[in-house]
Amino acid sequence: MSEFYRAKLNELLREFTLYLMEHPEFSEHIPDNAQVVLLDRSDPEYSRWAIELAQNARYTDDMPNRPVVYIEVTEMAPVRSRLQSLCIHERPPAYITG
């Protein structure tokens, strides 16, 4: 299960980074050098895992009193494809076969 949760964490980190790029003012509410723990309201098991992972990371943290913030993801838009146009061919197209 941890591989699934690691993949989910990576997805949330990517989405959180994109969110911060679009809403830089949100980062003003996060203390400098804070440990950010991303939680998912719709998946309590993942959230418990993320909290445990963050707590374990504190044992090896070079900043023992680092502030911690828990950011709860309460809603996500559906994943959508960015593909805009597709073509079906019966043979490889000419640009491949020369």
Domain boundaries, the chain: 2-85+93-97
Is residue 1 pLDDT above 80, yes or no?
A: no
Is residue 49 pLDDT above 70, yes or no?
A: yes
Question: Whole-prediction pTM value?
Answer: 0.78
Instruction: Name residue 39's beta-bridge partners.
Output: 72
Q: What is the mean pLDDT of residues 26-46?
A: 96
Q: Tell me how far apart the alpha carbons of residues 28 and 20 are, in angstroms, rounded to a whole number.
A: 10
Q: Tell me how far apart the alpha carbons of residues 66 and 90 are, in angstroms, rounded to a whole number.
A: 59
